[in-house]
């Protein structure tokens, strides 16, 4: 029988195997996972035979599908690193060896293999597992993450700490190609080269930004370059060549460089001081495991470049990796579990309000440009990016660059709008101060994810923006109470000839239909919306509905303050003169927030009136349902009313 005949004989087998490995639906019942059932921690995993790992990957992927289907949460990233997670825990002696995940969207398989399988049903719920690695949760979570591009710096710090203390341990950072766009990642890489620390950086490339090299020759050379033999020859050859004249040494170095350059994008990382290996198939355990085994024994900074697919093994997620980045819980009576679960919402999200305004404003002004360091989809900018592609700039994960880019544009006649999450703006604070505000440049900031963000927890909660924005000279800071105010305030910020920010929360609002026409609000002017007795409630932002309900219950006056900076001092004076208790309400930390601005003003004026500040406490608020968290913190209508009553009785 010829080789060709042989192939046609076994082809159906491989086709059937491919079908088996590709899931079409999310299981509604716990799947059969005999291998996975026997793994309580990575020690059990390391007791398996290497040939069993492929079956384990199949079981782990199926269980992951079931688990996230029950709770909702991050989805595609975890599916893409199933094989990598198994291989890392199989080769490295975790948790003694340090494993640092970047961002952490991909950490669910890691949590399942590290003793938390039975708690996966609590994922992202109050008191349950966090959606990201968290040091307090497990010794296997060596570094708490949620934001991008921190892993290499943290892992390098751990590697240096081990060396300084004479501890023989290995350190691994796993970072995606998207996270590699941040300057911090390159700062860490250059420092790692300088220190010569023993660490491995796994570049998990899901084919979104770095070109893919394919072919057997590439895989073959990757195996060679990761092997002890090659590296012994390499280091030995260098010591021999040191004794030879310069030309011989140069020729050998160039030969190695040219060999790698033919089959891989090695040059950049080699020039930065890393021994680069790859790219290799990150789903092929037969290549991944021996490569990691070899790399674990090497000294100095190592870079392993693997190619993976986000959503791997689940057909709908492979087809739509952006849509399946995260999913909602699949209800038991949902027949089509293969479709992306979505809860129909009649009300638009705040990010959609922003996106519609951006398109409308762009139509009216050809100087408008849109910039985001977040996902286009997550910022509500899809329509704008399609209609005004030449005016849309997605700078990837590069928050500092986004802000200074806007500053440069504003210097030369454009009117930039920066769509940025509250916690992402924290990373560009110096640029906001030094490059925008100091020069009083005309830059508009649409600050999304302000306040608590529910299930994503403290890493993503926009709890501090009112505090860190209002202390910056030249800034105008607005906090809309509803959808229409969001639209009008964005229009106002855009036409203000200096830096202005509008902060709005994740999700939907109270359901106020935005007016089609756009009107410029008077800067620093709020509005009184209820006349009451001895108590005046000053609401900043989207807690206005709760403040109104509390006002009705207590017969209190209620004001929608609108502006955090500048304050409506005229309205504050009026309310302070006619009420015995001023209550400030905000979904921001009390420390330094809008309420603090009110008390500072009253103190400066020498006004003797009692003030009660309600807002987020001086602690990091853990993950959980957003409305439940607000209730627990006393920031719903009942809690606001209760706090006021207690103050009046004291």
Alpha carbon distance 224, 244 (integer Å)? 26
Q: Region of 29 please: left (phi>0), alpha (psi -120 to 50) or beta.
A: beta
And the tokens for 540? 């900043």
Alpha carbon distance 582, 266 (integer Å)? 63
Which residue's structure tokens are 């003030």?
611
Neighbours of 517 (CB within 10 A): 9
What pLDDT score does 15 carry? Answer: 39
Cα-Cα-Cα-Cα dihedral sign, residues 175, 177, 178, 182: positive
Annotated active-site residue in 391, 427, 487, 503: 427
User: Could you tell me the pLDDT band of residue 234, with boundaries at 50, 70 and 90?
Assistant: low
Q: Where are the alpha helices (DSSP H) in 150-304?
A: 151-164, 183-195, 216-226, 228-241, 246-263, 267-271, 285-296
Give me the long-range contacts of 113-116 (CB less than 8 A, separation at least 24). 113/39, 113/41, 113/42, 113/45, 113/60, 113/85, 113/86, 113/89, 114/41, 114/42, 114/89, 114/138, 114/140, 115/40, 115/41, 115/140
Q: Give the pLDDT confidence of 1-60 residue by residue, as tens digits.
A: 443 344 334 434 333 444 457 899 999 999 999 999 999 999 999 999 999 999 999 999
Alpha carbon distance 545, 554 (integer Å)? 14
Query: Higher pLDDT residue, 408 or 373?
Result: 408
Three-state secondary-structure class, residue 25: coil
The yes-or-no answer on residue 170 being catalytic is no
| Average pLDDT score over residue span 293-300 | 94
The yes-or-no answer on residue 506 being catalytic is no
What pLDDT score does 12 carry? Answer: 40
pLDDT at 439 over 90: yes
What pLDDT score does 259 carry? Answer: 56
What pLDDT score does 578 carry? Answer: 96
Alpha carbon distance 289, 90 (integer Å)? 8
What pLDDT score does 283 carry? Answer: 95
Give me the long-range contacts of 208-214 (CB less than 8 A, separation at least 24). 208/177, 208/178, 208/310, 209/177, 209/178, 209/180, 209/181, 209/396, 210/177, 210/180, 210/265, 210/305, 211/265, 212/279, 212/307, 213/263, 213/264, 213/265, 213/279
User: Could you tell me the pLDDT band of residue 230, with boundaries at 50, 70 and 90?
Assistant: low
- Of 639, 594, 323, 342, give the one whose Cα is nearest residue 470: 594
The yes-or-no answer on residue 319 being catalytic is no
User: Could you tell me the pLDDT band of residue 361, with boundaries at 50, 70 and 90?
Assistant: very high
pLDDT at 510 over 80: yes
Neighbours of 511 (CB within 10 A): 11
State how far the alpha carbon of 277 is from the alpha carbons of 201, 223, 266, in Å: 10, 8, 8
* Least confident residue range of 174-183, 547-556, 621-630: 174-183
Q: Give the pLDDT confidence of 537-587 residue by residue, as tens digits.
A: 999 999 999 999 999 999 999 999 999 999 999 999 999 999 999 999 999
Q: Phi then psi for 201, rounded to 5 degrees?
A: -105, 120
Annotated active-site residue in 117, 124, 296, 310: 310
What pLDDT score does 22 carry? Answer: 85
What pLDDT score does 271 carry? Answer: 80
User: Could you tell me the pLDDT band of residue 342, with boundaries at 50, 70 and 90?
Assistant: very low
- Of 561, 547, 498, 516, give the one whose Cα is nearest residue 353: 516
User: Which residues is 369 bridged to in the sheet?
Assistant: 416
Question: Residue 160 in contact with residue 197, Cβ under 8 Å?
Answer: yes
Annotated active-site residue in 59, 83, 399, 483: 399
> Angle 637-649/544-554 helices, nearest 10 degrees?
50
Three-state secondary-structure class, residue 380: coil
User: Could you tell me the pLDDT band of residue 336, with boundaries at 50, 70 and 90?
Assistant: very low
pLDDT at 88 over 50: yes
What pLDDT score does 547 carry? Answer: 98
Alpha carbon distance 528, 534 (integer Å)? 15
Hey, what's the torsion of the CAs at 587, 588, 591, 596, to 10 degrees? -70
Q: Give the pLDDT confidence of 526-540 residue by residue, as tens digits.
A: 999 999 999 999 999
| R_g of the chain computed on alpha carbons | 28
Residue 451: partners with Cβ closer than 8 Å, 6 or more residues away: 461, 462, 463, 505, 506, 541, 542, 587, 588, 616
Q: Give the pLDDT confidence of 448-458 residue by residue, as tens digits.
A: 999 999 999 89
What pLDDT score does 331 carry? Answer: 63
Q: Give the pLDDT confidence of 182-229 residue by residue, as tens digits.
A: 889 989 999 999 999 999 999 998 864 333 444 554 565 566 566 665
The CB-side HSE value for 511 (13 A sphere, CA atoms) comes to 3
What pLDDT score does 253 carry? Answer: 64
User: Could you tell me the pLDDT band of residue 343, with boundaries at 50, 70 and 90?
Assistant: very low
Q: Give the pLDDT confidence of 133-161 residue by residue, as tens digits.
A: 999 999 999 999 988 899 999 999 999 99
User: Could you tell me the pLDDT band of residue 347, with boundaries at 50, 70 and 90?
Assistant: confident
What pLDDT score does 80 carry? Answer: 94
* Mean pLDDT over the full length of the chain: 88
What pLDDT score does 261 carry? Answer: 58
Three-state secondary-structure class, residue 215: coil
What pLDDT score does 494 carry? Answer: 98
User: Could you tell me the pLDDT band of residue 242, with boundaries at 50, 70 and 90?
Assistant: low
User: Could you tell me the pLDDT band of residue 325, with boundaries at 50, 70 and 90?
Assistant: confident
Angle, vertex CA 394, rays to CA 392 and CA 398, nearest 5:
140
- Of 279, 305, 299, 110, give the one whose Cα is nearest residue 199: 299
Q: Percent of the chain scored above 90 by pLDDT?
A: 75
And the tokens for 404? 């200074």
CA 64 to chain centre: 20
What pLDDT score does 178 carry? Answer: 83
What pLDDT score does 155 carry? Answer: 96
């Amino acid at each position: 029988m010829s080789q060709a005949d042989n192939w046609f004989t076994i082809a159906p087998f491989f086709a059937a195997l491919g079908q088996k490995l590709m899931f079409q639906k999310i299981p509604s019942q716990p799947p059969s996972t005999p291998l996975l059932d026997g793994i309580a921690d990575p020690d059990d995993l390391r007791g398996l035979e290497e040939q069993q790992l492929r079956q384990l990957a199949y079981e782990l992927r199926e269980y992951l599908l079931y688990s996230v289907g029950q709770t909702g949460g991050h989805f595609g990233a975890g599916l893409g690193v199933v094989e990598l997670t198994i291989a890392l825990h199989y080769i490295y002696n975790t948790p003694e060896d340090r494993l640092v995940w970047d961002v952490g969207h991909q950490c669910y398989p890691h949590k399942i293999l590290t003793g938390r399988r039975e708690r996966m049903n609590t994922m992202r719920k109050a008191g349950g597992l966090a959606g990201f690695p968290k040091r307090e949760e497990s010794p296997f979570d060596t570094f708490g993450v949620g934001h991008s591009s921190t892993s290499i710096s943290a892992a390098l710090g751990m590697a240096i700490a081990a060396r300084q203390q004479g501890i023989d341990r290995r350190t691994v950072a796993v970072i995606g190609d998207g996270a590699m766009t941040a300057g911090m990642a390159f700062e860490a890489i250059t420092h790692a080269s300088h220190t010569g620390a023993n660490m491995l950086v796994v570049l998990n490339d899901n084919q979104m930004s770095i070109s893919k090299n394919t072919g057997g020759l590439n895989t073959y050379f990757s195996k060679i370059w990761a092997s002890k033999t090659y590296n012994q020859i390499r280091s030995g050859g260098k010591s021999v060549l040191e004794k030879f004249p310069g030309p011989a040494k140069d020729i050998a170095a160039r030969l190695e460089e040219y060999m790698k350059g033919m089959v891989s994008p090695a040059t950049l990382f080699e020039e930065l001081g890393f021994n680069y290996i790859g790219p290799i198939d990150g789903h092929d355990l037969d290549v991944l495991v021996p490569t990691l085994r070899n790399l674990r024994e090497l000294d100095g900074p190592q870079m392993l470049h693997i190619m993976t697919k986000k959503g791997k093994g689940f057909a709908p997620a492979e087809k739509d990796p952006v849509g399946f980045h995260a999913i909602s819980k699949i209800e038991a009576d949902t027949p089509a579990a293969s479709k992306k679960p979505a809860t129909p919402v009649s009300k638009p999200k705040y990010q959609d309000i922003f996106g519609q305004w951006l398109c409308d404003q762009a139509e009216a002004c050809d100087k408008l440009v849109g910039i985001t360091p977040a996902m286009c989809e997550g910022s509500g900018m899809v329509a704008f990016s399609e209609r005004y592609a030449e005016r849309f700039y997605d700078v990837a994960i590069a928050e500092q660059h986004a802000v200074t880019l806007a500053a440069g544009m504003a210097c030369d006649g454009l009117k930039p709008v920066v769509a940025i999450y509250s916690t992402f703006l924290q990373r560009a604070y110096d640029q906001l101060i030094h490059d925008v505000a100091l020069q009083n440049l005309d830059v508009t900031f649409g600050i999304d994810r302000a306040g608590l963000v529910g299930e994503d927890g403290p890493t993503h909660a926009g709890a501090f923006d009112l505090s860190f924005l209002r202390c910056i000279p030249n800034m105008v800071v607005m906090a809309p109470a509803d959808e229409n105010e969001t639209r009008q305030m964005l229009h106002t910020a855009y036409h203000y000839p200096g830096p202005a920010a509008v902060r709005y929360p994740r999700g939907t609002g109270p359901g106020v239909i935005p007016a089609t026409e756009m009107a410029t609000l008077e800067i620093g002017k709020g509005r009184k919306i209820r006349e009451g007795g001895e108590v005046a409630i000053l609401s900043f932002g989207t807690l206005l509905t709760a403040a109104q309900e509390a006002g009705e219950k207590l017969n209190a006056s209620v004001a929608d303050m609108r502006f955090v900076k500048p304050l409506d001092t005229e309205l504050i004076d009026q309310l302070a003169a006619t009420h015995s208790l001023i209550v400030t309400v905000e979904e921001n930390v009390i420390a330094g927030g809008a309420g603090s601005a009110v008390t500072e003003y009253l103190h400066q004026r020498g006004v003797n009136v009692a003030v009660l500040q309600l807002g987020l406490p001086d602690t990091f608020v853990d993950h959980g349902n957003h409305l439940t968290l607000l209730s627990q913190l006393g920031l719903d209508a009942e809690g606001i009313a209760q706090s006021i009553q207690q103050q009046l009785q004291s």
